[in-house]
Structure 1
């Protein structure tokens, strides 16, 4: 059994350029990039996007210079004390 309408699932050079430029400019995670790019490139798969990012050195984006937080140790609390560590949540607009 073969597909009724065979088609190539590889990306064109323009689609590759679009995907890599989008990743470089937005710094979004892989799944978010995939959702946005699938609107314009419907046959784009998660695997192809991940592989493309790896080939272009975009699978792990460099951290921003001031984004490293200073790690601190917890204070010594008595037994039975519950410590909740709350951190900032970053929104799509980049606000905390």
Structure 2
């Protein structure tokens, strides 16, 4: 749910939904649900760990979250570094 008096967060969510839709279901045909799930997981990983965004001052979303956690750990319930796929999981 969006915060009260913060309507722009709805816009951010809708824009991300559009980005995902344009990169997946509008470009590819999937024979089954499993293919879609695999492609979505690959796209989200590439976006979060590889795409540098101007709005995040050239950081990837994952780098931005890790920087925020380093600067203000009290805002987080869990360490985002342990959410990265790979050796930590």
TM-score range normalised by the length of the shorter chain: under 0.3
Q: Which has the higher helix share?
A: 2
TM-score normalized with structure 2 length: 0.27
CA radius of gyration, larger in:
1
TM-score normalized with structure 1 length: 0.25
Higher RCO by CA contacts (8 Å cutoff, separation 6 or greater): 1
